[in-house]
Amino acid sequence: MLTKTRLFTPGPTLLPEQIRLAMARDMIHHRTAAFAALMREVQAGLRLLFDSEDVVLPLASSGTGAMAAAACALFSPGEKVLVVEGGKFGERWTQICRAHGLLPVVLPVPWGEAVSPAAVAGALDQDPGISGVLIQHAETSTGVQHPVEAVAAVTRSRPVLLVVDGVSAVSITPCPMTRWGLDCLLTGSQKGLMLPPGLALIALSPRAWARAETLPARNFYFNLCAERKYCLGGQSAFTPPVSLIVGLAESLRLFGEAGLATVYRKQWALTALVRGGVKALGLDLFVKEHFAWGVTSILLPEGISSGPLLARAAERYGVIMAAGQDAFKERMVRIGHMGWLDYADLLAALHALAGSFRFCGGYCGGRNYLEQALDAYWTALDEGPPLPV
Ligand SMILES: *Cc1c(COP(=O)(O)O)cnc(C)c1O
């Protein structure tokens, strides 16, 4: 009664009422004209969102399913791929590659830092046997955004496919496939798309499709070439998650009404708000430079651990944030700000952060941190992000 429960986790995220209502409608059958019409509408919206020249395939799985599907569809056992490993999700690429018999060559990046495109070029020059680069656009475990456009400038002139995990980036920060020259872009439903978990989306470039068509299918369920054929006919190979696709049509409609540039501008401004507030509190932002637009990571000082802080924030303020991962589990708090959130929600998150931090015995500064956060928000919203979107 006292508070609303608000999710500030880096997925799943809150759902707008329009999407919840759309998903509550009765079932439509997936081998009907009604479903084909739905798929046509969704494809048009997705092609814009991904900036894809070809279909964007829906898969019934979480985001990781699409990562596995990509590794399997584009590379053969024994083939070498370069994995940018700067956090938990980079490590997931390595694990997926190993599980499917690929030979991952790891390019380690310290947690909290972005990969250097020159280092990618260097690794590729050193080993001409490498035929792919696997990367996250936003590494959600650390809050870093890798410079994917610059990495694509390295791969697009070589016979090397660039596969981008955009689960916490698509619809949060621009990642135009065709304009940048990405070969595969994938995402999941429960982050920027404002949907429940369970739907993954994946698109391939023309040269990636050409590659996929030459390889024998090694996966019966996640067979992208087969899915593509069905998708072109407004269907899917197996029973699709129909309600999630209905919800997706609604979320794409919302993006269409607002315009993608406005969606990105808002995400940028929300990031400025959180970073401004955290700085005004005197707390330590984990990522200094290449920060993601959907999650902000805060390094806690000695003596304060995330567990009790997050518990207090949830109980007292109804604010659900996330801890760090692995070595940073206790030392980090992550505030997710993807999708269906606005500036007022994030003021509650900052207030809960400050109050819970003090409750746990921490000292943090100025009482006007909310005003400073708001100043940062409106300035960022008016100025817009530093790249054309
Ligand atoms: C959330 C996330 C995933 C996918 O996780 P699932 O639990 O499989 O949906 C993958 N990569 C990144 C960068 C993510 O943030």
In whole angstroms, give the CA distance from residue 238 to residue 236.
Answer: 6
Nearest residue by C-alpha to atom 4 in ligand 1: 63
Whether 59 shows a pLDDT value over 60: the answer reads yes
What is the signed CA dihedral for 170, 151, 287, 295, rounded to 10 degrees?
Answer: 10
In whole angstroms, give the CA distance from residue 344 to residue 79.
Answer: 49
Compute, in angstroms, the gap from residue 187 CA to the centroid of ligand 1: 8
| Integer angstrom CA distances of residue 293 from 54, 222, 238 | 26, 30, 34
Reference 210, options 53, 376, 100; nearest CA is: 53
Compute, in angstroms, the gap from residue 132 CA to the centroid of ligand 1: 20
- Asked if 131 and 159 count as a contact pair (C-beta separation under 8 A), the reply is yes
Within 8 A by CB and 6+ apart from 320, the residues are: 5, 6, 7, 8, 9, 310, 313, 314
Q: Given this model, what pLDDT does residue 389 score?
A: 55
Compute, in angstroms, the gap from residue 188 CA to the centroid of ligand 1: 7
Q: Where are the domains of the chain?
A: 6-12+259-383, 17-257
Q: Given this model, what pLDDT does residue 1 score?
A: 84
Compute, in angstroms, the gap from residue 167 CA to the centroid of ligand 1: 6
Q: Given this model, what pLDDT does residue 156 score?
A: 97
pLDDT in tens, 127-181: 999 999 999 999 999 999 999 999 999 999 999 999 999 999 999 999 999 999 9
Atom of ligand 1 nearest to the CA of 188: 9
Compute, in angstroms, the gap from residue 368 CA to the centroid of ligand 1: 35
Reference 235, options 72, 27, 44, 57; nearest CA is: 57
Chain mean position to CA 10 = 9
Q: Given this model, what pLDDT does residue 388 score?
A: 58
The CATH architecture that domain 6-12+259-383 belongs to is Alpha-Beta Complex (3.90)
Token pair, residue 352, equals 């809960």
Q: Given this model, what pLDDT does residue 90 score?
A: 98
Within 8 A by CB and 6+ apart from 89, the residues are: 136, 139, 140, 141, 165, 167
Q: Which residues of 292-301 are buried (b: 16+ CB within 10 A; e: fewer)?
A: bbbbbbbebe
Reported pTM: 0.98
Average pLDDT of the residues in 240-247:
98
| Integer angstrom CA distances of residue 93 from 80, 209, 295 | 13, 20, 20
Residue 365: pLDDT band (50, 70, 90) is: confident
- Asked if 14 and 7 count as a contact pair (C-beta separation under 8 A), the reply is yes
pLDDT in tens, 33-48: 999 999 999 999 999 9
Pocket flag, ligand 1, residue 66 (CB < 6 Å): no
Q: Given this model, what pLDDT does residue 367 score?
A: 77
Q: Which helix (H) or strand (E) holds 154?
A: helix 148-155
Q: Given this model, what pLDDT does residue 366 score?
A: 73
Mutate to test the pocket of ligand 1, among 140, 172, 184 (most ligand atoms within 8 A of CB): 140
| Average pLDDT across the chain, whole number | 97
Say which CATH topology domain 17-257 has. Aspartate Aminotransferase; domain 2 (3.40.640)
Residue 71: pLDDT band (50, 70, 90) is: very high
pLDDT in tens, 280-324: 999 999 999 999 999 999 999 999 999 999 999 999 999 999 999
